[in-house]
């Protein structure tokens, strides 16, 4: 844990007592703060109190005595309306921050030059975070990895000059981190998502951009309009900025040439690493992720040989183009993390054809219409969940499909059809382009279910 000493002797309110909120309250207590915590779920409040966290209804406290409200990222700060705790804090002139901000302040006080890599993007940030941490470990560095990737940032060991923190940050977390200033900030991409929480694409993109605004070195992938504009603004400051692209040959920064990551600097090119044969980094989107991770490693003086070793041994992440197994010629791939069309775009672009595509769930805005250019490579589609009728209407006359309802039925039918295919390597791909909430609590449970079904088939 990282004890938070910047609020020692001060009264701090904490709202939201799930994973990160509970850790934030504990870290504040460990650093000497006077904490008062609450949640809308009475059972969660009881669990926190049983764990030794002081609790009280924040609607009844004297806000004039509160130094800060620490808000869990899952609670609305602005849109569609501020949560009642945020509204009370604002009315009292109390600053509202989150766990990433607490970490940043502790780093500034304890070890201001401790290496800190912060990574954001609509898609790819978890893979880039895990890969970056893996490369640093391959170089023998002391690495702490956490944040939005599933480990609360304050549960990590404290910042230290010889310890690298590699942290995935969501837009929700960045919105609660006004002084975020990492050693290396990485901005991967901005595509429509979370507009219910941020109001407009422009506001969403501006929040993402904060990751690179105050960074010592900014790494910006310039393959969409929002990131290109962010790069122009950052470069205008004259501060170190590394551009990355998987789509364009750059005259500065890092780009992808075939399967090679190429660095262009000091008017000459150098080939850093070859991604050929690394199945955990399949596809152009993962080439972009890899180039961003390499840029961060180079910025923190990781030798090229260690970078190559880290790339070659990267195990990948569950639910992100995860190769679950093979049965004869058939490859089974779990891409349950693809909860929107942009993510599924990356998956479908990673295969040349003969895809037996399992999709559906709780649809996002735009559905699968943006994926029509991939329809010629779909051998058959298998629809699950509440989006089935809407998706069938888009596929009608263009892609053979069947309404399966559940993942169990879809996996069995896709496996049978793929096995009967004459293709050299038919692919059964779960890439739903949908949230999971109609049938599963989260995408991880959906992906775990698919993995267990495939393992049953393999057995």
CATH number of the domain at 55, please.
Answer: 3.40.50.720
Minimum mean pLDDT range among 154-168, 263-277, 428-442: 263-277
Extract the runs of DSSP E, i.e. beta strands, from 127-183. 142-147, 163-168
Shared domain for 287 and 373, answered yes or no, is no
Report the alpha-carbon distance of residue 408 to residue 427 in Å, rounded.
17
What is the signed CA dihedral for 401, 403, 404, 406, rounded to 10 degrees? 120
What residues make up the domain containing 337? 322-458
Residue at a domain's end among 54, 78, 97? 97
pLDDT for the residue 265? 81
CB 380 within 8 A of CB 357: yes
Asked if residue 93 and residue 104 are part of one domain, the reply reads no
Question: Is 270 domain-assigned?
Answer: yes
- 371 and 280 in a single domain? The answer is no
CB of 312 closer than 8 Å to CB of 286: no
Q: Is residue 107 part of a domain?
A: yes
State the sign of the Cα–Cα–Cα–Cα dihedral 423, 426, 432, 438. positive
pLDDT tens digits for range 42-98? 999 999 999 999 999 999 999 999 999 999 998 989 888 999 999 999 999 999 999
Name 142's Cβ contacts closer than 8 Å, sequence gap at least 6. 160, 162, 163, 164
| pLDDT (tens digit per residue) in 18-51 | 889 999 999 999 999 999 999 999 999 999 999 9
Average pLDDT rounded to a whole number, residues 433-458: 97
Contact 127, 286 (CB under 8 A): yes
Q: Please determine, for residue 268, whether its predicted confidence score (pLDDT) is greater than 90.
A: no
Q: What is the pLDDT of residues 329-367, one digit of tens each?
A: 999 999 999 998 988 999 999 999 999 999 999 998 899
pLDDT at res. 24: 98
Q: Is the pTM of this model over 0.75?
A: yes
pLDDT at 240 over 70: yes
**441 within some domain:** yes
Distance CA 178, CA 210 (A): 8
The per-residue pLDDT for 96 is 98
Q: Give the residue-averaged pLDDT of 290-314.
A: 98
Q: What is the pLDDT of residues 163-216, one digit of tens each?
A: 999 999 999 999 999 999 999 999 999 987 666 677 799 999 999 999 999 999
The answer to whether position 274 is within a domain reads yes
Give the pLDDT band (50/70/90) at residue 385. Answer: very high
Mark whether 368 and 404 lie in a shared domain. Answer: yes
Task: Tell whether 245 and 117 lie within a shared domain.
Answer: yes
Check which CATH number belongs to the domain holding 140 and give it. Answer: 3.40.1190.10
Mean pLDDT of 228-251: 97
Residues 199 and 335 grouped into a single domain: no
Q: Crossing angle, helix 201-213 and helix 225-235, to 10 degrees?
A: 40
- Same domain, yes or no: 85 and 44: yes
Inside any domain, residue 4: no
Q: Are residues 359 and 211 in the same domain?
A: no
Sheet holding 355-360, edge to edge: 322-327, 330-334, 427-430, 355-360, 378-384, 401-405
In-domain check, residue 451: yes
Same domain, 25 and 84: yes
- Give the span between the Cα atoms of 300 and 311, in whole angstroms: 16
168/88 same-domain check: no
Overall average pLDDT of the 281-291 stretch:
95
Does the residue 40 lie in any domain? yes
Residue 230: pLDDT above 70? yes
Q: 138 with 196, same domain?
A: yes
Q: Give the end of a domain, one of 97, 117, 138.
A: 97
Model pLDDT, residue 195: 63
Predicted confidence (pLDDT) at residue 405 exceeds the cutoff of 80: yes
CATH of the domain at 383: 3.90.190.20
Same domain, 65 and 122: no
Q: What's the number of domains the chain is made of?
A: 3
Q: Please state, for a pLDDT cut of 90, what percent of the chain lies above it.
A: 92
Burial (CB count <10 Å: 0-12, 13-18, 19+), residue 365: exposed
Task: Give the end of a domain, one of 260, 290, 312.
Answer: 312
Residues annotated as part of the active site = 125, 148, 194
Instruction: Confirm whether 317 is domain-assigned.
Output: no
């Amino acid at each position: 844990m990282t004890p938070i000493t910047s609020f020692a002797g001060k009264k701090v309110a904490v709202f939201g007592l799930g994973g990160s909120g509970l850790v934030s309250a504990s870290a504040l207590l460990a650093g000497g703060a006077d904490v008062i915590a609450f949640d809308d779920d009475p059972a969660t409040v009881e669990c926190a109190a049983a764990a030794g966290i002081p609790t009280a209804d924040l609607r009844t406290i004297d806000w004039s005595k509160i130094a800060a409200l620490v808000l869990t990222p899952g609670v609305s700060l602005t849109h569609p309306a501020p949560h009642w705790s945020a509204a009370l804090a604002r009315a009292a002139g109390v600053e509202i921050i989150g766990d990433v901000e607490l970490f940043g302040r502790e780093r500034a006080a304890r070890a201001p030059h401790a290496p800190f890599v912060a990574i954001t993007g609509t898609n790819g940030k978890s893979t880039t975070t895990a890969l970056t941490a893996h490369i640093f470990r391959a170089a023998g560095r002391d690495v702490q990895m956490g944040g939005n990737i599933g480990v609360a940032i304050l549960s990590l060991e404290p910042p230290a000059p010889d310890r690298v923190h590699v942290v995935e940050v969501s837009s929700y977390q960045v919105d609660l981190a006004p002084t975020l200033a990492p050693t290396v900030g990485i901005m991967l991409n901005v595509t429509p998502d979370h507009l219910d929480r941020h109001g407009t694409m422009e506001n969403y993109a501006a929040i993402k951009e904060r990751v690179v605004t105050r960074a010592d070195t900014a790494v910006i992938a310039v393959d969409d309009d929002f990131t290109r504009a962010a790069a122009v603004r950052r470069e205008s400051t004259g501060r170190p900025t590394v551009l990355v692209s998987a789509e364009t040959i750059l005259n500065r920064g890092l780009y992808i040439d075939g399967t090679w990551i190429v660095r262009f600097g000091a008017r000459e090119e150098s080939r850093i690493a070859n991604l050929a044969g690394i199945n955990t980094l399949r596809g152009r989107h993962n080439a972009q992720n890899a180039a961003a991770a390499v840029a961060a490693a180079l910025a923190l003086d990781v030798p090229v040989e260690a970078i190559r070793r880290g790339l070659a041994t990267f195990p990948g992440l569950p639910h992100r183009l995860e190769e679950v197994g093979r049965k004869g010629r058939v490859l089974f791939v779990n891409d349950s993390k693809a909860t929107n069309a942009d993510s599924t775009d990356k998956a479908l672009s990673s295969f040349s054809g003969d895809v037996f595509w399992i999709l559906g769930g709780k649809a996002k805005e735009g559905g699968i219409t943006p994926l029509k250019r991939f329809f010629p490579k779909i051998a058959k589609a298998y629809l699950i969940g509440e989006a089935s009728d809407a998706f069938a209407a888009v596929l009608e006359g263009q892609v053979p499909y069947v309404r399966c309802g559940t993942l169990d039925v879809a996996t069995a039918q896709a496996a049978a059809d793929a096995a009967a295919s004459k293709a050299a390597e038919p692919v059964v791909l779960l890439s739903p382009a949908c949230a999971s909430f109609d049938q599963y609590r989260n995408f991880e449970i959906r992906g775990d279910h698919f993995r267990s079904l495939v393992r049953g088939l393999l057995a």
